[in-house]
Structure 1
Amino acid sequence: SGAGRRPVADGAPKTPAAHGIAGIHKRKTTERRPRMFYPFKDDQGRPKTLPEVSYADLDQLRDLEEGYALEFKRSFSPTVQKKVPKIVASFANSAGGWLVIGIADDDRSVCPVPRLAADYSQIIGELCRRHITPAPRIDVRFIADPADPAVGVVVVQVLEGDFPPYISDGVVHVREGSTSGPAASTALVDLYGKATRRRAEVTAFCRRTVFVAARETPLFNLYMFRMGRRAADAPSRDELNAHAEAMRGSFARQGLACRVHHAHDSLIFSIPTRDTPRTPHSSIELFGDESLKLTVPAVLLAGEERKRAAERLFGAEAARQPEDDLHILSAEDTLARVTRMAAVLDRYVRERGIAWRQYAVAYELENLAGAVLWSDEPLYLRYARERGPLFCATADCLSRVRYLDDGAHDSFRARQFAGSHFFEACGLPLGSPDENDNALVDALLRT
């Protein structure tokens, strides 16, 4: 955004690690970590994701041994339940892995476990939340026996942790062959180093810029960094094409046309401009690992509309000030633009079957410092008379990064997040104990 790329701070990666569409295949790394292991394959030998696994696929486990990324348990007994946090933490501290409950560890025969009244994902998730710090990212599925849906097999996929070490009941466990054991001091150093590098990657990603020819254009940016992906997991050309097709479809279902620009490590889907390339336009940048960046130009009032708003907010003298001296931001028009584009992200993630909890999210303002918020909503006009107009009081800055796997964002939607935090950045008092503040928040968000 702006007319180019901001400089990267000393010591930070020059490009976002674990990202890219073309460049991702060329990236060299000193970290020789194994790829995520997938025990289930389709007819062409391609890995199957957990939602794609069928009961018949369990036969593939007969040819596999327990090891670094795979562990079997015959039952879900109290003894096994006590071991689950240790196993999960060891996978998260290593390269990820799979725990399969209902498979004998000696001959890999299927020993179905009963379907419980409570969901296995809730039970295992609660075990991990109570015994592991920080909470690892897992996906749990009960695969019912088609011949008897009352029984089945539980498959737990544990993703490699982004911020290790993951501590289970006070101990840091890592994988040692086919078992889990306490980490040595050198392994602990490596785990802390991995977390430090991951934070640097998130920071570097949040410095991404999309070119906007019109200088000093006021922008609202939303960064969505997909966690748990690495350069070693580079998508194939077919997968990249599927990503692009899903994004085009998401624009179309929102009634929006899009133009695709090929960047060196991403695709940029932008709203076409009808006049000149210098006209600011909204865009979504899509990376190979399905990280996302949304860039939305704010709508500034101009001409008679701006004069009318300035006079109502500040009086006749303010209406005569040059537009460059007093920027007035249309709350309704900008919110509509922001939320409509964020709805494209919601559609894309839903279409691709991605869980929002896999993302780290931050928002950013550019060239909006001092811009005054305008709305002809009666509650806002009364608020402005009594307490003064709302305006963006901060210099251009990035919000704190929120990690959506923290258990506090189970119902996250990009549209809702972008809309509320756009107003928050403009001074709207979110979470205020004052009823008048909350009424104003509700009124403006309804616009």
Structure 2
Amino acid sequence: MFSPFKDDRGAPKALADITYADLEQLRDLEEGYVLEFKRSYSPTVAKKIPKIIASFANSSGGWLVIGIADDDRSLCPVPRLGADYSQMIGELCRRHVSPTPRFDVRFVTDPAAPDQGVIVVQVFEGDFPPYVADGVVDVREGSTSGPAVGSALVELYGKATRRRAEIAAFCHRSVFYAASDTPLFNLYMFRMGKRVSDTPTRDTINEHAQTMRAAFRRMGLACRVHHAHDSLIFSVPTRDDPRIPHSAIELFADESMKLSVPAILLTNAERERIVARFAFDDVKADDTERNPPQRATELRIMSSADTLARVTRMASILDRYVRGRTLAWQQYAVAYELENLAGVVLWSEEPSYLDYVRTRGPLFCATTDCLSRVRYLDDGAHDSFRARQFAGSHFFEACGLPLGSPDPTDSALVEALLRSAHGAAKP
């Protein structure tokens, strides 16, 4: 994305790296399609901000700088307020723009006068336009904003449709497992706002790889790195066959990520003990040639504590990577999938689960279509998102325990199963 700020080598500067001295670079720039100046943060300007941000999001993104005169680009520092400008602008957009665009705000302080500075707003190109500000769809028209009409509206809706199709295509596993029926928990993290044309340099890719390796080390896990045609695969090796990972993270050039974690199934002896204890042979199946009866001894039973410990431990690596790269989860769309887990019984020795089984029967994934809906984290409702928490809670959701169930028994069971994963088998 365009940045009006450059470093000593002429490379674009990120918002977090801008200094007060960098504002001098704006003197040579004119307002235009991706840049707008405002002299002060007055009530009139505050009223226009949602429209300006929405127009940038509906176009190619852009920068709004408050504290720069729009006629001669001279510095006109605005006072530092008790309230945070980012919160104030965020609240303006939440009240006046739908859906909420993705943007960042920074107050760049004047080092000679810490009580004043300049507000810099970076607006990203929207993934799901049109963004409507007070009932109007605005787009950039030269150095101003104006209502979108005709073909412009069609193109905005087309962009959103293409983006949804791109995310749907991303949500498919590509990590190799020798057994085609390996039961997997997959977590998809699609980074928004990036385009295929944003090809990183080799140095950037190496930096990504170093950060991911460091995240594995922090979790006490070894990893092997495999270079794919458009990604890096970081896998935790198994002892018996170094070619086959038992858990893996696939990292793409735009920092989208896929997590694949095989479920831990109980051994034959453990399964037989549980089957005998709870008489699963009473479970009946269709008695036809097309659907022959499945006896309980053929059931696949998954360890809740061990599988969840593996899932959350690997998801913690994603959190460490995002923090190490100073990214924000709000840049991601997230979905999960249970693959080859249809009909696999969830098992735990947790007393509350044993009581649950006696009264309601065991939990299991009851559908062959196990891909969740996509959750878009840039809608302002996921400020405390963590991959580890998401993976753990939604793992049980996919096994039949709905999140936010009004039944207190369900909620208590989820909490008990989450606690049981602590100290369980590690990846």
Q: Which residue of 2 aligns with 1:191?
A: 156
Q: Which residue of 2 aligns with 1:158?
A: 123
With normalisation by structure 1, the TM-score equals 0.89
Q: How far apart, CA to CA, are the structure 1 residues paired with 2:281 and 2:8?
A: 74
Q: Which residue of 2 aligns with 1:230?
A: 195
Say whether 1:176 aligns with 2:149.
no
Q: How far apart, CA to CA, are the structure 2 residues paired with 1:152 and 1:310?
A: 69
Please give the root-mean-square deviation of Cα atoms over the aligned residues, in Å.
Answer: 1.6
CA change 1:288–1:323 in 2 (3 A) is farther
Q: Which residue of 2 aligns with 1:307?
A: 272
Name whichever of 124-133 and 304-313 sits farther off. Answer: 304-313
Q: How far apart, CA to CA, are the structure 2 residues paired with 1:430 and 1:89?
A: 33
From 83, 103, 109, the counterpart of 2:48 = 83
From 169, 173, 180, the counterpart of 1:204 = 169
CA change 1:307–1:167 in 2 (3 A) is same
Say whether 1:390 aligns with 2:390.
no
Summarize deviations over 1:347-405 as a string: whole Å, max 9, x none.
00010011101100110111101111110011111111111111111114211000011
Conserved? CA contact 2:212–2:321, under 8 Å: yes
Q: How far apart, CA to CA, are the structure 1 residues paired with 2:339 and 2:220?
A: 27
Q: Which residue of 1 aligns with 2:397?
A: 424
Task: Structure 1 unaligned segments of length 5 or more: list them.
Answer: 1-35
Summarize deviations over 1:402-430 as a string: whole Å, max 9, x none.
00112221100000000111111111242
Determine which structure has greater relative contact order: mean sequence separation of CA pairs < 8 Å that are 6+ residues apart, divided by chain length: 1
With normalisation by structure 2, the TM-score equals 0.93
Q: Secondary structure at the match of 1:417?
A: helix
Summarize deviations over 1:255-290 as a string: whole Å, max 9, x none.
011101111111110001221257551100000000
Q: Which residue of 1 aligns with 2:91?
A: 126
| Distance apart, 1:314 and its partner CA | 2.8
Q: Secondary structure at the match of 2:232?
A: strand
Conserved? CA contact 1:367–1:396, under 8 Å: no
Counting matched residue pairs gives 410
From 58, 62, 77, the counterpart of 1:93 = 58
Summarize deviations over 1:230-271 as a string: whole Å, max 9, x none.
122221111111111101111110001110111111111000
Say whether 1:148 aligns with 2:121.
no
Q: Secondary structure at the match of 2:197?
A: helix
Summarize deviations over 1:12-53 as a string: whole Å, max 9, x none.
xxxxxxxxxxxxxxxxxxxxxxxx210111111111111111
Aligned sequence identity (%)? 75
Say whether 1:325 aligns with 2:298.
yes
From 333, 337, 340, the counterpart of 1:364 = 337
Say whether 1:351 aligns with 2:316.
no
Summarize deviations over 1:147-196 as a string: whole Å, max 9, x none.
11111100000000001111111111111111111112111111111111
What pairs up with 1:432-443 in 2 under 5 angstroms? 432-443=405-416
Q: Which residue of 2 aligns with 1:24?
A: none
Conserved? CA contact 2:173–2:186, under 8 Å: no
Conserved? CA contact 2:275–2:296, under 8 Å: no
Q: Which residue of 1 aligns with 2:18?
A: 53
Q: Which residue of 2 aligns with 1:407?
A: 380
| Distance apart, 1:106 and its partner CA | 1.4
Say whether 1:264 aligns with 2:229.
yes
